[in-house]
Amino acid sequence: MASTVTPNGFSLDDSGQRVVVDPICRIEGHLRIEVNLDESNTIRNAVSTGNMWRGLEVILKGRDPRDAWAFVERICGVCTGVHALASVRTVEDALGIDIPRNANSIRNLMMLSQYTQDHLVHFYHLHALDWVDVVSALNADPAATSQLQQSISSWRNSSPGYFRDVQNKLKRFVESGQLGPFANAYWGSDAYRLPAEANLMAVAHYLEALDFQKEIVKIHTIFGGRNPHPNWIVGGVPCSINVDQVGATGTVHMTWLNMVSDIINQSIEFIDKVYIPDLKAIASFYKDWGYGGGLAGKNMLSYGDFPLIANQWDNESLALPAGAIINGDLSTVHEVDTRDLEQIQEFVNHSWYSYDDESRGLHPWEGVTEPNFELGPNLKGTKTNIQEIDEGAKYSWLKAPRWKGHAMEVGPLSRFVIAYALGREDVKELVDSTLSELGLPLPALFSTLGRTAARGLECTWSAHKMREVFDDMMANLKAGDVATANMDMWEPSTWPGDVKGVGMVEAPRGALGHWIHIKDRKIENYQAIVPSTWNASPRDPAGNIGAYEASLLGTPLVNAEQPLEILRTIHSFDPCLACASH
Amino acid sequence: MAVHETLYEVMRQHGITRRSFLKFCSLTAAGLGMGPEFAGKLAHALETKPRTPVIWLHGLECTCCTESFIRSGNPLAGDVILSMISLDYDDTLMAAAGHQAEELLEQTIEKYDGQYVLACEGNPPLNEDGMYCIQGGIPYVEKLKHMADHCKAIVAWGSCASWGCVQAAKPNPTRAVPIHKVIRDKPIVKVPGCPPIAEVMTGVLTYMIAFDRLPPLDRQGRPLMFYSQRLHDKCYRRPHFDAGQFVERFDDEGARKGYCLYKVGCKGPTTYNACSTVEWNDGLSWPVKSGHGCIGCAENDFWDKGSFYSAVTTAGFSAGAEATADKVGGVLAGAAAIGVAAHAAASVVSHMTGKQSEESSNG
Amino acid sequence: MSSTTAASGPGTSSLKPVYVYEAPVRIWHWTHAISIIVLSITGYLIANPLPALHGEASNHFMMGYIRMIHFIAGYVFAIGFAVRIYWAFVGNRFSRELFIPPVWSREWRGHLMHKIKFNLFLTRKMEKTVAHNPLAQVAMWFFNVLVGLFMVVSGFALYGEGLGVGSWADRWFGWLIPMMGSSMEVKMWHTLGMWLLIVFAIIHIYMAVRSDIMGRESCVSTIIGGWRYWKDDQP
Ligand code: HEM
Ligand code: HEM
Ligand code: NFV
Ligand code: SF4
Ligand code: SF4
Ligand code: F3S
Ligand SMILES: [Mg+2]
C-alpha cells in the first residue's frame, strides 16, 4: 500500500515501523491496536482490531421477544442496562406499545445514573492513569496538595493530613514490592506533565471515586433490583410504586424514593466538587496536547435520548437531541432516520463475517451475521499467533457501520456538539464556560482532550438532570398516577404476525441501535449496532477508516516503546469491545 | 522482591486502625453466617498471612462480574484490591498495556509458581481454534491453560466461567465452554451468577485468603456458604407463595402489595444463590424485591429454559420451538384420548364386520 | 374386594379360573391409581397455581396445602412402589411380570407381535392371556416401572431441596439435580413424567374396559377380585 488517501480524507502510510499494542488494558473487552510510525515516531497508519465475538445476534433467533432484553443486557456489564433498554424499546416500537409516564421517568433516571457512574469510573479508573503518574505522587508535598485542592473546590477531603495519609499508604504500597495493578506501566515517561501535587490529588480521588461509584448505581438497585444488570420489562418497568396504600413496603415506597433523592444529591456533589475540578485541573496542563481529533468535529452522530415526554421521540421531547454532522459543517444538523434502508448500513469486507455481496452494506433489518474468520496474505505470524495483522483483508470482529456511507464518531462529544449546534442552552452554557475557563476555542474540543472533557461535562449534566426527572416523577405521583407498566400487549396472542421495530438509546459511549424483526411471535432477526462498533470500526469497501483509526493519525510518540499516547487517545473513546462486536 | 507483608500489616499501613480491622473481621464473619469465634480466627489468619497474588483473566464475557466486584461494600473493593490481595494482572484495571502487561504474567509464574490464585471471568470459545477470543494475537484458551498450569486454585467468576452463560446459549456459535471443561487438574471454585453478588465474590476470596483453603463446596463446586439454599427458601415474599397470593401480571394489585412473583415467571424455587438473604448493593434490594421475578441467573443453562415469564416448568427443547412441559404433555394426552376414541370406534366397526364374516363363513 | 368372590365369579367357560392378582397387588393397584390422580391434580396446581387469593397472607395457606397433599400422596406413591417391589419377590409368579418383561423369550416376543398386530386390526385372532398380555406388560414396564421410578427419584430430589443440603432426601436423591443439569430441568421432566402417566392411564383404562367387553377373559373384575375367568373353551 505504502501511501494512500482515504475517501474520508486521511493519509495512510504503512511503510514505517509497526508497533502493536495488544491487549489495550483499562477498557472493556479485547482490543488490538497496530500503528505504523515514521522516522519521527509519528503515527502514519492505524489499525483497530476487535478481538472477540460471542454471537448474540445468532443466539437471539427464534426466542421470545419479551426475553430479549436479558440476553442483550449481557452484551455489556460496564454500560449495563443500555442494551436492555434498547431492546424493550425495539419490541415496543415493533408492537406499538406506549409506556406509562412513571415508567418513562424511571427509565430516564436509570440511564442518567448509568451515565453518571460510567463516566466517573471511566475518568478515574480507566483513563486517569494516562495523564496521572502515580509514582510521581510519592514526591508531592501534602501541604501544597491541600492548597491545590482548596483552590479548585470546596470538597471536604482537603487537609494536608488527609493527603499525607494517602501518600503514606501509597508509599508503603510501592515499597511492599507488590505493585498489583500499577506494575509495569509507563511511569516516568516524559509524556506525563502533571506536577507531583496534582498527581497526588488525583490518586486520592481515584480511591474516593472507587468507593463512591457504587452509591450512584443504587438507583438501579431500587428500580431494577440490582446492579449490574438490573431488570426491565416490555411495556414499562417491573417495579410497582405504592406510596400510601396497604403493602407499600413490599414494593417501591417512600423510603426508597427518599433514598433515590439522596443519591442524586450526593452524585451532584461528588461530580461537581471532585470530578469536574480535577478534569479542569488536569486539562490545564495538557492544553497544548491537541492530538486525537480524527472524525471529531467532522462526522458525528447522535440518535438523541431522554424523552422528557413519554413516547415522544422528536427533538422537542429529547433532552439530548438527535442529528448528524457531516464534513465538519456545524451549521447543518442532518436528520437521521434509523428506518431508512439507505441511511444506516453495515459493511463486512474487512470484518470476520461474510455477506453474499461484500461490496454492499446491509441495513440492520436485512442484516446478516455469519462469522468467517479469515486472515490476509500479508499477515505476519500464523492463524493462532498473529504478530502483525493484514488490514488489507478482513481484520476485525467488528462490522463497519456507516451513515449514508460515512464513518461516524459517536459518544458524549458528538452528543454535545450536536446539542451545541442545535443551540441547546444547557449544553452551550456548560461547554462555553469550560472553554473560556481554560482559554480554549471551540475547535479545541475536537481532540482527545475534548472527548474526555465532554464526557465530564455530560456527567455533571446527567447528575443534575436526574434531579429534574425525579422531581417531575414525584409531581406525577402526587397527582395520583402510580402506573408503571402497560400490559395490554403482553400476551403474544395479541401481536401481529410479522412486524419490525427499532429502538435507540444514547448509551454512555454513544449511539446505540437495536433492530428487530418479529415473525410468528418469535425473533426472526435481531441486529445491534453499538457505539463502539461505530468508533472502533474497521475499514469499509470504499476505504473509509473509522474513528479510532482516524484519531491516532498524526500523533507523535515520545517513546515508541511506551506508546502512552495511543492509550490516551483510544481511552478517550472509552472503548467497549464486548459491546462493539457482541 | 520485597519481603512479604501480612494482610493485616498492609491494612494497618493503609491507615486502617486495629479497631476497624477487627470490625471488618466480625462483619465478614457475620456475612459468612458464622459466629464471633470465627471473627477471632479470621483476624488471626489475616494478621499472619502474606498477600496472595491474584491473576484475573477475562475471556468471552460482558465484564459485569468485575463491575459487580467493585460494588462490594463490605469489604470495600478498593481494600480488597489494594490491601488484601495482590492483583498482579487484570486487563480491565491494570495500568500497563501491550507486551508490558503480558510480561507480568510470566513474572508472576516465575515468582509465585503454584502459589497464585487464578480468577477467571468469562470463558474460552473452542470453535475456530479459539480465535473468537484473541489476546495478544493468540487464542484466549491458550493463555488460560498456561496460567492454570502454574496456579494454586481457580475461582470461576460468574455464570460464564461456571456454566457457559449467554454466549453458550443455543446454538452456542463459538462453542464457549465453562472453565472446568478445559482445566481438569486444578481445584475450581464456582461462583455463579450473572453476575454474582459483590459481597459473595469478596466473601469467597477473603475466605480463601484468610484460611488458606477452599471453602466447602456442594456437588457442583459452589461454596456451600452462599449457594446451599434456593432464593425461594428465604424469600420475604414466601408467605404470599404459601398463601396462594400471586402477582398475575406486572403492576396489578398484587404487584403493588408485594405478592409472590411465581406466576410471572419467578425462578426463585429452582435457583441457588444468596440474593434473598445477602441482597444486592449493600443489601439494598434484589430482583424479586424490586418486582421482577428471578430469572435464575446463577443456574446452569438458565438461558435455554424458555421464557423468563412463564411458570417454572417451561423447557427449551430447542431455542426455536420451545414449549412448556404442560403444552407437550397436554398434546400427548390429547393425542392419547383421540387415539383411544378412534381405536374404540374402529373396534366397534371391526367387531361388527368380523361377526358378519364369521357368520357368513359358518353359515 | 375379597377373593371369595372368585369361586362364584361369572364366566361361560368350563376352564378353571386362575388367581392372578393377590390381595396386596390389588390393594397396591388402587392406592397407586388414587395417588397418581391426587399427585397429578396437585402437581398441576403447583405448576399452574389457582387465581390469586387476597387478604392477609397469614389467613391463607392454599399453596401450602396443595403442596402438602402432593407430598403426602408422594410418600404413598413411593412407599406403595417399594412394597410392590417387595411383593414381586414373595408373591406369585404373576407378581413379577410387571418388573421383568421376558424379552429374551422368543415365544413371548411372538405373542407381543401378535398383540400389536391385533390392536392395529391386522389380525382378528385373539389369544388368551392368563396374566398380563405382553403389550400391556411392555407398556406397564415403561410407564409404571421406569416413569414411576423416575417420579419417585425426581420427586424426592425436589423434596430434598426444601429439606435442605444434607437432609436424607438430598443425600439419597440429590445427585439427580447436577446429573440433569439443574433443578429447573428436574422440574420440567418431573412434570413431563406426570403427563406420560396420564397418557398411560387413558390408554390403560380404555384397554382394560375394552378387553373386558371384547376379550376372551375377564379383566376389570380380575384387578378387583384377583381371579381371571375365561369366556370360552377354545385354547
Ligand atoms: C406420579 C407421581 C407424581 C406426579 C404426577 C407429580 C407431579 C408433579 C408436578 C406436575 C409438579 C409441578 C412441577 C412444577 O412446578 O413444574 C410437582 C412438583 C413437585 N413434586 Fe411431584 N409428582 C409426582 C410424584 C412426586 C413424588 C413421589 C414426590 C416426593 C415427595 C414429589 C414431590 C414433588 C415436589 C417436592 C415438587 C415441587 C413442589 C414445589 O416446588 O412447590 N412428587 N410434582
Ligand atoms: C379406573 C381405573 C383403572 C382400571 C379400571 C384399571 C384396570 C386394570 C386392570 C384390568 C388390570 C389388569 C390388566 C391385566 O391383567 O392385563 C390392571 C393392572 C394394572 N394397572 Fe390398572 N386400572 C385402573 C387405573 C390404573 C392407574 C391409574 C394406574 C397407574 C397409572 C394403573 C396401573 C396398573 C398396573 C401397574 C397394573 C399391573 C398390576 C400388576 O401386574 O401388578 N391402573 N389395571
Ligand atoms: N459501546 C458500548 Fe456500550 C456503551 N456505552 C453500549 O451500547 O459499553 Ni459496554
Ligand atoms: S456471568 Fe453474566 S454477568 Fe458475568 S461476565 Fe458473564 S454474562 Fe456477564
Ligand atoms: S417471589 Fe419467587 S422466590 Fe419469592 S416466594 Fe415467590 S416464587 Fe419464591
Ligand atoms: S436472577 Fe440472579 S441475581 Fe438473584 S434473584 Fe435470580 S439469582
Ligand atoms: Mg451487530
Complex confidence, ipTM: 0.94
Tally the domains of chain C.
1
Q: Residue C122: its chain B contacts at CB < 8 A?
A: none
Atom 11, ligand 2: which residue's CA is nearest? Answer: C223
Q: Residue A386: its chain B contacts at CB < 8 A?
A: 134, 137-138
The pLDDT value recorded for residue A220 is 98
User: pLDDT per residue over A196-205, tens digit each?
Assistant: 999 999 999 9
Q: Residue B97: its chain A contacts at CB < 8 A?
A: 21, 23-26, 185, 563, 567
Q: What is the mean pLDDT of residues A210-231?
A: 98
Residue C190 falls inside a structural domain: yes
Q: Quick one: which atom of ligand 1 is closest to the CA of B312?
A: 16
User: pLDDT per residue over A251-261, tens digit each?
Assistant: 999 999 999 99
Distance CA B128, CA B51 (A): 39
Residue C33 falls inside a structural domain: yes
| Angle subtended by helix axes A425-438 and A448-478, to nearest 10 | 140
Q: Which H or E run contains A302?
A: strand A300-302
Average pLDDT over chain A reads: 97
Option in C60, C124, C187 nearest B270 (CB)? C187
Q: What is the mean pLDDT of residues A45-55?
A: 98
User: pLDDT per residue over A487-499, tens digit each?
Assistant: 999 999 999 999 9
What residues line ligand 3, using a CB cutoff of 6 Å?
A 28, 76, 78-79, 82-83, 507-509, 512, 530-532, 576, 579-580
Residue bearing the bigger pLDDT, A320 or C135? A320
List, in sequence order, every beta strand (DSSP E) within chain B: 52-58, 85-90, 117-121, 134-135, 138-139, 153-157, 188-191, 314-315, 323-324
Q: Residue A240: its chain B contacts at CB < 8 A?
A: 250-251, 255-256, 291
Record the cell numbers describing residue A514, joined without a space: 437495536
- Give Cβ neighbours of residue B182 (< 8 Å, ≥ 6 apart): B124, B126, B141, B144, B145
Distance CA B237, CA B241 (A): 7
Q: Which ligand is nearest to the CA of A364?
A: 7
Place of cell 481515584: A206
Q: Which H or E run contains C54?
A: none
The pLDDT value recorded for residue A104 is 98
Distance CA B234, CA B220 (A): 21
How many angstroms from the chain centroid is the CA of residue C173? Answer: 21
Taken in order B319, B321, B326, B329, is the CA torsion positive or negative?
negative
Q: Are strands B188-191 and B153-157 parallel, antiparallel or unpaired?
A: parallel
Distance CA A288, CA A83 (A): 37
List, in sequence order, every beta strand (DSSP E) within A303-395: 305-307, 318-320, 323-325, 344-347, 380-382, 385-388
Beta partners for B191? B157
The pLDDT value recorded for residue A562 is 93
Please give the residue range of the domain that contains residue C121.
19-48+61-228
In this prediction, residue B320 has a pLDDT band, given cuts at 50, 70 and 90, of very low
Nearest to A107 by CA among A470, A530, A480: A470
Distance CA C234, CA C37 (A): 39
In this prediction, residue B312 has a pLDDT band, given cuts at 50, 70 and 90, of low
Q: How far is A366 from chain B (nearest CA, A)?
A: 20
The pLDDT value recorded for residue B349 is 84
Burial A4-37 (b: 16+ CB within 10 A, else e): eebebebebbbebebbbbbbbbbbbbbbbbbbbb
Residue B267 Cα, ligand 6 centroid: separation in angstroms?
8
Using a pLDDT cut of 90, give the percent of chain A over it: 97
Option in A55, A58, A385 nearest B138 (CB)? A385
Work out the burial of residue B263: count CB atoms within 10 Å of its CB; fewer than 13 is exposed, 13-18 middle, 19 or more buried: buried
Place of cell 516524559: A190
What CATH number corresponds to the domain at position C105?
A: 1.20.950.20
Average pLDDT over chain B reads: 88
Q: Quick one: which atom of ligand 5 is closest to the CA of B294?
A: 2
Q: What is the mean pLDDT of residues A229-249?
A: 95
| Angle subtended by helix axes A196-216 and A160-175, to nearest 10 | 90
- Measured between CA atoms, the residue of chain C closest to residue B255 is C52
Any chain B CB within 8 A of the CB of C184?
yes
Q: How far is A497 from chain B (nearest CA, A)?
A: 16
Q: What is the mean pLDDT of residues B29-48?
A: 62
- Residue whose CB lies within 8 A of the most ligand 1 atoms, among C46, C156, C184, for a mutation test: C46
Range list of H helices, chain C: 23-47, 62-90, 106-119, 134-140, 148-163, 168-173, 176-180, 183-214, 220-225
In this prediction, residue C4 has a pLDDT band, given cuts at 50, 70 and 90, of very low
Dihedral angle computed from the Cα positions of residues B76, B82, B88 and B94, in that order, rounded to the nearest 10 degrees:
80
Catalytic positions of A, written as ranges: 28, 76, 79, 83, 509, 532, 576, 579
Q: Where along chain B do its domains lie? A: 1-48, 51-226, 231-314, 327-353
Position A462 pLDDT exceeds 90: yes
Q: Do B328 and C54 touch (CB under 8 A)?
A: no
Q: Which H or E run contains B254?
A: helix B253-257
In this prediction, residue B191 has a pLDDT band, given cuts at 50, 70 and 90, of very high
Beta partners for C186? none
Q: What is the mean pLDDT of residues B154-167?
A: 98
Name the least confident of A341-355, B8-22, B284-298, C73-87.
B8-22
Q: Which ligand is nearest to the CA of B231?
A: 5
CA B122 vs CA A125, A181, A396, B77: distances in Å: 21, 20, 20, 20
The pLDDT value recorded for residue B17 is 65
Q: Which fold has domain B51-226?
A: Rossmann fold (3.40.50)
Using alpha carbons only, give the angle A505, A508, A509 rounded to the nearest 5 degrees.
95
3-state secondary structure of B157: strand
DSSP one-letter code for B318 = S
DSSP calls for A519-577? ETTEEEEEEEE-HHHHHT----TT----HHHHHHTTPBPS-TTS-HHHHHHHHHT--BH
Q: Which ligand is nearest to the CA of B238?
A: 5
Position B216 pLDDT exceeds 50: yes
Nearest to A46 by CA among A85, A72, A16, A76: A16
Residue C233 falls inside a structural domain: no
Using alpha carbons only, give the angle A12, A18, A20 rounded to the nearest 5 degrees.
110
The letter for the amino acid at B228 is: S
Beta partners for A236? A233, A485
Residue C1 Cα, ligand 2 centroid: separation in angstroms?
15
Distance CA A223, CA B335 (A): 46
User: pLDDT per residue over C51-97, tens digit each?
Assistant: 999 999 999 999 999 999 999 999 999 999 999 999 999 999 888 98
C-beta B66 within 6 A of ligand 4: no
Q: Are strands B323-324 and B153-157 parallel, antiparallel or unpaired?
A: unpaired
Q: Do A239 and B292 touch (CB under 8 A)?
A: yes
Distance CA C110, CA B349 (A): 26
Using alpha carbons only, give the angle A531, A535, A536 rounded to the nearest 5 degrees.
110
Any chain B CB within 8 A of the CB of C172?
no
Residue C116 Cα, ligand 4 centroid: separation in angstroms?
53
The pLDDT value recorded for residue B359 is 44
Any chain B CB within 8 A of the CB of A221?
yes
With respect to CATH, is domain B231-314 assigned 4.10.480.10? yes
Q: Quick one: which atom of ligand 6 is closest to the CA of B287?
A: 5
The pLDDT value recorded for residue B148 is 98
Residue C53 falls inside a structural domain: no
The pTM for the full model equals 0.93
- Residue whose CB lies within 8 A of the most ligand 1 atoms, among B235, B313, B314, B332, for a mutation test: B313
